[in-house]
Structure 1
Amino acid sequence: MVKEGWNLQGNARFEGFCIDLLARVAAQAGFAYRLRLVPDNMYGARDPDTGQWNGIVRELMDRKADIAVASMTINYAREAVIDFTKPFMNLGIGILFKVPTSQPTRLFSFLNPLAIEIWLYVLAAYILVSFTLFVMARFSPYEWSSSTHVCGHETKLLTNQFSVCNSLWFITGTFLRQGSGLNPKATSTRIVGGIWWFFTLIILSSYTANLAAFLTVERTVLPIQSAADLAAQTSVQYGTLNGGSTMTFFRDSNIDIYQKMWQHMSTTSPPALVSSYEEGVRRVLQGNYAFLMESTMLDHRVQRDCNLTQIGGLLDSKGYGIATWKGSPWRDRISLAILELQEKGVIQILYDKWWKNTGDVCNRDGKDSKANPLGVQNIGGVFVTLLCGLALAIMVAILEFCWHTKKNASQGRQSLCSEMGQELRTAMRGGSSSRTVLRPGCSRCSPATHVPPAPSRYEAQDASNSVVELKELRWS
């Protein structure tokens, strides 16, 4: 890298990993050097039409330079015209992409812990178990309770607590862990209740375990996950450095996916190939663009910008080496110096200095794991559900009131309006939870001959409790 804002001359104008490496190699191999930049700012690629090389490779072939120290990849084409030392760093091709913005929070985010098909299966199970409980309670003799009603002749009255509504209420209460006041008596219905309790235990435990993570941890979804995903779509553009080894890799590859990617990169408009790494990173930050680059530079960028990330693994494996002109006597001496620096851990120290210990490394741990406070956009759907339930209850109460007053009006032989007025006055009278209702007596019974049945455990024991149990009756 070239130092900016300094009035420096000669080798002092440059800094970076390769500059520090060159200084230590020169001290180890015993030579002095003078740095200069290549005029066309290219690493070196062979023109397939003319067969001519450019960039650093051209400079070495013409012996305008003795050695080249850069992030220069060792490959077959370059090795045929210039020499490389032992690699001082191993790498591969990675995909640089912009971290997508978080998905907008939905009002009913509390439903996210379970997939939509699971919610549908739970609803189907709820209906199936309710129906099964109702049918089994009807068929089991142990779910029927009897009492005696005397009205001129003795009559046996049978009641069953599990009507259709009560069956649904029992399943609902147990699913929400609130109970329902109903307890199965027969072995068959108890088995149904027990297996439903086990089912709800697993479902609610799974839901609760995932609920906190879905509501508090910020999640992002990448539109692509690998090079195969890039090749299979056209919405996200992708490219690489023009004239670099990565471009050569795709251009000369015999793998179908990479050939398809090169065909796209070489023909798309606007051009997918960029003239510098800075331009490629800038296009990535603008969005909707993936940059194929060498993993060392990719890591350097990702660790300093939290808006960037790497997608998938490496597409190949190769190394960086110091280049010399063909037959240079310095190649072996520099290779020995590199091996010695690797064994002493000097190269790893330099890597940590320029990649990890620069002070401007992005801290991703706190961003990915920090739980965010819940807002209306996270659990507002719960309040909407509550309001809808209350509105539904009010509508049902109005319908029940209208149906009850109409039935009483027809039995009491009075107008519907007067019956509604009487019911409203009674309902609005506060301070008491009991009421006296006078209705015509039993047509078959008289007060002298009527013996009411003994109250069972499912009948209202005290009118002040305002508890009315629904019962199904049948005569035997």
Structure 2
Amino acid sequence: MEEAFRLALCVMMGLLLLRGSRLAGAIETGNAVSKGGDEEGQGATDPQTLTVTTILQDPYAMARGTELEGYCLDLLDKLAKMLHFNYKVTIVKDGRYGAVSSSGNWTGMVGEIVRQEADLAVAPLTITSVRDEVISFTTPFLATGIGILLRKDAASQGASLFGFLAPFSKETWTGVMVAYLLTCLCLFLAARLSPCEWKEPKSEENHFTFLNSLWFGAGALTLQGAAPYPKALSGRIIAAIWWLFTISLLAAYIANSTALLRSGNELLPIQTFEDLVKQREIEFGTIESSSTFQFFKNSRNPIHQMIYEYMDKRRDYVLVKNYHEAVQRVLESNYAFIGESISQDLLAARHCNLMRAPEVVGARGFGIATAKGSPWANKLSLAVLKLGESGDLDYLRNKWWETTCFHKGSDTWSPLKPQAMGGLFLVLAIGLALGVIVALVELSNKSRHAAEREKKSCCSVLMEEMSHRFRIKEGARENPERVKP
């Protein structure tokens, strides 16, 4: 019995030991899976370190001691926080953006991406079709174009001769001249038609000739007045409307002249690329092998082709290597720099004696470059869109493009267009039409009374009256014969 009890006890202890060993093995195995899972999960969330290439250009990337700062660095920091990656920034070795060399290889930041020396290029790198064939671009984080950077005093040379015409555009001056001639013509017609102005065309001389009408209109335009003055209601209506027009016109001219003088751009002859090509005093160029140079090379616009031919023939003299050299040349000589308009806006904000011409061509954008087929392209594009929607891109733009100048030059003033004075021209047209209609009514009323007296038809008397009033020379020849005894 005792032996049986001992045997049973041994069996039970053996079973307990076997169960304990299995349980311990199961616990150890569970810890290994959990740890491996944690390690795998931690490995999946470990930030990947990306190599980022950029170029030193104010304000995108600037060296401050051993650190880098600028628009692109702030943008990169926001993207890294959104997409959970680490990054290491390097400066492009050859200091170029990226173009195809004579050997067929890509230079600059594009070349480093192609050779997989860098994972990303975060810089003012313009998105072009040629570059997009070898690398991938994200959604543009900055919109830009091609503009002209000038020194204000260099741009003002030789522009003072007709500077007094600057407050109005060419179209507005044309409209004013047409309005003046049309008003004088209507005043002349009203003076001829109205019997209150010219009672007896057969025996009296009308002093309101067309030349006198021109003189009267010019006198009113300068607020001086000139005789003869209209006596008929129709002529006075036209004169009053013309006076109202001239007063409003002079007020607009004086106001726009004042704004023009305050803006500091009163003598800017170069407004467009066509103006730049036509002049000979100022040289112009761009960065060699840049996307801007390629734009003019590939453009079919005749003006753009002329710009390319000029730069290509003088490439040793007018092409520069970087923006720093371009700014120095603009500041120190008669030189106009053609480049990215958004970068030129910054230069104009930092240097108050520089300005950008109004015209911008070749709308384009700056994008982040990745290797062809990289999964980061779509991720970064989506992140850039989110930053734009949240206003972060605008915040960075305002932060790094802050101006220290007191005025913005051409952005604060422009010549007055005809559309701004459309109502004034309309009132003048209505007044002229009303004056001529009143003159016709006055003549018709006189013809009706004359027809009743002479027992003739009103139309025949009206036609006879008008023939006498517009045959000035014949009446002048007949009058002396009638006066002679």
Match of 1:28 among 82, 95, 110: 82
Which residues in structure 2 correspond to 1:143-162 (within 5 Å)? none
Cα distance in 2 for residues equivalent to 1:277 and 1:334: 27
Q: Which residue of 2 aligns with 1:201?
A: 243
How many angstroms does 1:43 deviate by? 0.2
| CA displacement at 1:276 relative to structure 2 | 1.0
Partner of 2:326: 280
Paired with 2:161 and 2:294, the residues of 1 have a C-alpha distance of 44
Please report the TM-score for the alignment, with normalisation by the length of structure 1: 0.55
Structure of higher RCO (CA pairs closer than 8 Å, 6+ residues apart) = 1
Describe the SS at the equivalent of 2:243.
Answer: helix
1:90 to 143, 153, 166: 143
1:60 matches 2:147: no
Q: Distance in 2 between matches of 1:17 and 1:283?
A: 25
Change beyond 3 A, Cα 1:171–1:329: closer
Q: How many pairs are equivalent?
A: 339
Instruction: State the alpha-carbon separation in 1 of the partners of residues 379 and 243 from structure 2.
Output: 71
**Aligned counterparts of 2:98 and 2:368: Cα–Cα separation in 1:** 14
**Contact 1:46-1:54 at 8 Å conserved across structures:** yes
Distance (whole Å) between structure 2 residues aligned to residue 61 and residue 249 of structure 1: 22
- The Cα offsets for residues 211-230 of structure 1, whole Å up to 9 and x where unpaired, read as 63376444414223222333
Q: Which amino acid is 1:209 matched to?
A: A
Is the 1:95–1:291 contact (alpha carbons within 8 Å) kept by the matching residues of 2?
yes
Q: What aligned pairs does 1:375-386 form with structure 2 within 5 A after superposition?
A: none
- Report the 3-state secondary structure (helix = DSSP H, G, I; strand = E; otherwise coil) of the residue aligned with 2:147: strand
Contact 1:95 1:293 in 2 (8 A): yes
Matched, 1:364 2:408: yes
Secondary structure of residue in 1 paired with 2:344: helix
Structure 2 counterparts to residues 121-140 of structure 1, below 5 A? none
CA RMSD in angstroms, aligned pairs only? 5.1
1:40 is aligned, of 75, 81, 94, to 94
Matched residues in 1 for 2:110 and 2:119: separation? 11
Pick from 105, 113, 132 the counterpart of residue 79 of structure 1: 132
Which deviations, in whole Å up to 9, do the C-alpha atoms of 1:117-155 show, x marking residues without a partner?
89x989x99xx99x99xxx999969x99xxxxxxxxxxx
Distance, in Å, in 1 between the alignment partners of 2:229 and 2:141 is 76
Contact 2:216 2:225 in 1 (8 A): no
SS of residue paired to 2:394: helix
Q: Is the 8 A contact 1:45 1:248 kept in 2?
A: no
Between the aligned partners of 1:346 and 1:286, the Cα distance in structure 2 is 37
> For residue 224 of structure 1, what is the aligned residue in structure 2?
270
Aligned to 1:70: 123
The alignment's TM-score, normalised by the length of structure 2, stands at 0.54
Q: How far off its partner does 1:16 sit?
A: 0.8
**Match for residue 213 of structure 1?**
255
> Hey, what does 1:339 align to over in structure 2?
385
Cα 1:322/1:3, change in 2 over 3 Å? closer
Aligned to 1:17: 71
1:268 maps onto 2:314 in alignment = yes
Query: In the alignment, does 2:346 pair up with 1:300?
Result: yes
CA distance in 1 between counterparts of 2:299 and 2:72 reads 29
Q: Which residue in the other structure is 2:288 paired with?
A: 242
Q: Distance in 1 between matches of 2:229 and 2:278?
A: 59
Q: Aligned in 2, Cα 1:24/1:98: closer, same or farther, shift over 3 Å?
A: same
Q: Unaligned stretches of 5+ in structure 2? A: 1-57, 414-482
Instruction: Tell me by how many angstroms 1:42 deviates.
Output: 0.5
Classify the secondary structure of the residue corresponding to 1:316: strand
- After superposition, the Cα gap between the structure-2 partners of 1:44 and 1:209, relative to the gap in structure 1 and judged at 3 Å, is same
**1:194/1:307 CA distance change after superposition, 3 Å:** same
Comparing both structures, which one devotes a greater share of its residues to helix? 2
Are residues 1:309 and 2:317 paired? no
CA drift at 1:20: 0.4
The SS at the match of 2:140 is: coil
Alpha-carbon contact 2:197-2:232 (below 8 Å) kept: no
Residues in 1 aligned to 2:138 and 2:225: alpha-carbon distance in whole angstroms? 75
Conserved 8 A contact 2:282-2:335:
yes
